[in-house]
Structure 1
Amino acid sequence: MSPVALRLAAAALALGCAGCGPAAGEATVLRLGHELDTAHPVHRAMLHLDERLQALSGGTMRVEVFPSRQLGNERESLELLQIGSLAMTKVSASVLENFAPSASVLAVPYLFRDSAHQVTVLDGPIGDRLLASPARFRLRGLAFYDAGARSFYTVGRPVRSPADLDGLKVRTQESQSAIRMVRALGGSPTPISYGELYTALQQGVVDGAENNPPSFYLSRHYEVARHYALDEHTAVPDVLLISGPVWDGLTDQQQTWLRQAARESAEVQRVLWAEATAQALAAVREAGVEVTTVDKAPFRERVAPLVAELEADPELGGLIREIRQTGAPADGGDS
């Protein structure tokens, strides 16, 4: 474990155990840390998670939420979950792929036909398998949160076609899938912590980045990056995670309550996300950002070799085909 994570573990312990079993008359408290601002729809959904868990459990369980990296960034929070010093966190599925390779399927460019297709996949058997996939790393998924579609934003020139990405230093998550995708599109992938990105854009360490509209807006990156191209190359969801050791310490009934509250919070989060996306795009346009709806066909063509390579992978290929077939319209014959 990193020195920073050790200090955070000590801080978490100072706040109390991650998933404290109740003394007589006390509630079980699950501590949840994440990186996002309190205005973010994911944070608001987590507050709903707490409300529903208290209601379902008759007040015997609750979630205490620590936003804005109070207990560390995504990587540090994952380390705390693995040792049971933190009960819950939210990570991008792109980060989760470092623990569960099958999760990388969610970062395949242009995988989902539309948002309805994505919801059908994530709420069904495929989603359940993906949530269970990091169990051997002492992590367990409870639900998927909508993270919208990711698109490129840049400081200098606007991106209207893949050729405009050639040679640009583009910040990516610490994810091999994201790195390969940016490279396939012609950019120079540069992994940087999300918390350091504003300064990196400001100082020219990177020329741009890629993210969804609410994150682009709430991070205030639009103050520096004045061009936003809606190519929507990936739709990588977030994953609400619980520590394996903490999960194993809950009773069957407590696990049922928590799982139900998590799924209900995901439904609320999707509504909040749609509202936040519309509001974010309106706000950055009002602030003078050039928001461009680009032709996605050239972007699909540029990543086609990468997608073909992933389709040939023994594990991912079958999963990609299964996702594409989910909810696909049946071939119609002559009438």
Structure 2
Amino acid sequence: GGDVEVVVYPSSQLGAGVEVIQATQAGTIEANMEATSKQSNFVPEYAVLDLPYLVTSLEEAYELLDGPIGDELIKVSIEKGIRPLGFWEASVRNIYTAKRKINSIDDLKGLKIRVIPSPSFVELFNALGASPTPMPFGEIFTSLKQGVIDAAENDSLTYFQTKHYEAAPNLAITNHIFLTATLNVSEVFWQKLPEEYREIMMAAADEAKIFLREMRAKDEADVIQKLLDAGVSITKPDLQPFVSRARSIYPKFKDKVGDVLYNQVMDYLEN
């Protein structure tokens, strides 16, 4: 009925990620959308989603996010002043290389691969036998071209859209880590809303979440054909050795994640 007006401020107009999250906690910004990996300084428990091979597909990712683990993450985030209205689309990450094709885990031995400067990424690729090399995203293309690094990793859409395939024309479907984002509302703002408005916002967020997830799945499927058309060589190594080595690093993150979530993750993986 026009009682609620949503004003969108794109392109970091309200500040950088950390500033926006702080302002959302304080209630000076009423809502934001941010990757969970960038919120882990405020909600350390989100680090559980950075664990490698927690899932190996988008379908598994959504099952996890919409289940007890997702519910627990929403609960702890609310306690810190940020209320997620749901986990939106997810993306899974793969490895791409300049020269060496990845047909098995053995092909990662000594591979100098650019990673996000995050403990989980560094620990993962050390466990896989590679040589993880943190560097800014903007330096990847040139570093691949010049041989400073042998490989990088990202989701397939980003790999295509940035044309990194021109410098690294070999893609291995490894699905080693997934990333997701939440649509957040300030808890200060939420407590001021009448119940009927809360219900409307939750319903709208659920509808948008479903739309974005469907769109992401379609885009992921389409981009594989586009990469093949561009001459990219795509390999699908056996993931079981990757999973076994990757999950061996989980205990290193137990303290950061907390006992409740860590035990939930262990139960989830067993079942």
TM-score of Structure 1 vs Structure 2, range by shorter chain? 0.7 to 0.9
Aligned pair count reads: 269
Residue of structure 2 in register with 1:108 after alignment: 51
Q: 1:113 to 1:203 in 2, by over 3 A?
A: closer
Cα displacement (A) at 1:97: 2.7
Structure 2 letter corresponding to 1:214: L
2-structure distance, mates of 1:122, 1:303: 20
Q: How does 1:1-335 map to 2 (within 5 A)?
A: 58-67=1-10, 74-75=17-18, 77-84=20-27, 86-112=29-55, 114-194=57-137, 197-198=140-141, 201-202=144-145, 206-307=149-250, 314-324=259-269, 328=271
Cα displacement (A) at 1:214: 1.8
Gaps of 5+ in 1: 1-57, 329-335
Moved more, 77-86 or 251-260: 77-86
Q: 1:237 to 1:322 in 2, by over 3 A?
A: farther
Gaps of 5+ in 2: none
1-structure distance, mates of 2:176, 2:133: 17
Contact between 1:131 and 1:140, CA under 8 Å: does it hold in 2?
yes
Structure 2 letter corresponding to 1:208: A
Structure scoring higher RCO (CA < 8 A, sep ≥ 6) equals: 2
Cα displacement (A) at 1:194: 4.2
Q: Deviations over 1:242-297 (max 9, x none)?
A: 34444445443333322221121111111101110011111122112222111112
Structure 1 letter corresponding to 2:265: I
1-structure distance, mates of 2:149, 2:5: 41
2-structure distance, mates of 1:199, 1:127: 38
1-structure distance, mates of 2:143, 2:18: 19
Contact between 2:112 and 2:149, CA under 8 Å: does it hold in 1?
yes
Moved more, 87-96 or 297-306: 87-96
Structure 1 letter corresponding to 2:264: L
What is the root-mean-square deviation in Å for CA atoms of aligned residues?
3.1
Q: 1:252 to 1:310 in 2, by over 3 A?
A: same
**% identity of equivalent residues:** 33
Q: Deviations over 1:75-115 (max 9, x none)?
A: 45434534545443333333333322322222222223654
SS in structure 2 at match of 1:164 = helix
Contact between 1:95 and 1:174, CA under 8 Å: does it hold in 2?
no
Q: Deviations over 1:46-95 (max 9, x none)?
A: xxxxxxxxxxxx22224344455555554454345345454433333333
